[in-house]
A and B are shown apart, each in its own frame.
Chain A
């Protein structure tokens, strides 16, 4: 039920967002490629939101020791990782026409890359541990440490690379489009998160059943 509502909301928002991004928002001098900005910024925001959910769910797991919190954390981390990957890709696509290279060690891209590596490590470590409780404990610790590291990474890299494109005063149409894009991606995040969580819960039920039958 929840999933159906989320699906409906995301679909409607997605259509509105597409209209606003490609037709409503004014073109800048960089041309059509600039419109990737309406995907790029929301992706960063969602990645951050997703990793914040991982952080909170990790704390909850260590506190309550309920495996449900581990499912929350890992589902959100998966979605967050996908969005970070997309953020890096869109950043790269934007960088090519803008600066003539696919990758620059721009502060935002660099900090996202480090973030991406932290959560890649999160999943690599998960794959190394077979015992469920231990996997949950260890990934919770990484989920907490990783998120605490985020602001430190960002501050350091901004200190390190002070030159980066700043967002100038924006056209109200641009602001409106950006807001709608962010709302759309937030809905999409919750949809993907809910789907992944439902899948994890089914997996978990199946495992319990298996363990019961084996006994």
Chain B
């Protein structure tokens, strides 16, 4: 049976045992994933965090010449404004369901919106994104899609996110990518595999993507980049590619896997190209599959020595570093920090699953006591963890970085900092150097009141993480 037959893929926790809440030494994490069953955890106190809908919106924000209709109440489209400010490629529409629609259903409203936007913009594709209200009401999006697809002759792609059926926002990437492949890539897997190589880039910084793109072109590859900054044609071309290269082993994993399983495009299992050595390993894995070993070696050696020169002796020797990032980013940065001579004192990752087992095993062998904290947006836990450590530097992409800096830890936000590839190392080093040289803003911040009670800090940091009772 085709993996694309269902409306949506299985959630990450069902497919990969993904955990969204966990705390402990990396050796325990490694053991836990070695066991047959991984137990889900829940929180008895929680703070707001991303959901699958938000992650799906990130994917569609990168598709050019598209219109995105969020079929729900008005607030579910709020993040669209953020994406516009960040340079979104799609147009954001909300069907603006009111109370009556939540009782009677709103198929007519959806039909009207799709038709009106088709006539207004003549886009290459229209996305319909689900959310809690239509999921609870079980609105019939599918028949609207089928009817209007015939009538308007435009691809209409329904993305069945719900906001509550998975605990891990990262499932939203899978749900969106499932729908994109299903509706845009065609049914046949028979196409010849001689097209440009797919570069799978999911929710990446534009500069990171450019760096990866330039490196791969540098070893003579012709590329088809998707889903970031792509078009409908990119998805059609994707199934004729010689292979798929992930820019990260986590976010695009489902896309790469389905391209391989359903369409026969080989998926290259490559790490994230972060750090001099990490980027080298990434190039090496690609080169082995695509038979460009000498070009890749030559590029790596040249870039590595150039980068070392540009770093002009920059070192993190003696510095204790905390990392708080999306999972693949965090694990790749552990290596980079160590490469620069620093010591990683702890890591917070957004989620942990079978895709990370090899990193967990490596770390468990090297540094079994290293504490791993799994959290998306659970600032209260992270602050409590950080207060107990003596740290010289914090690298993170969370939205609560201002709170962290208040603790007096020099802080670098990676949310808008491109760290991929050789140029990424230099960029990151420069930013770290600046943060370590002048700590006055952290001192200024420390004067305002902290939000949590002292009694919370005296609790164990995993106090609110419990094993789920089924």
The reply to whether chain A is a binding partner of chain B is no
A contact set with B: CB distance below 8 Å: none
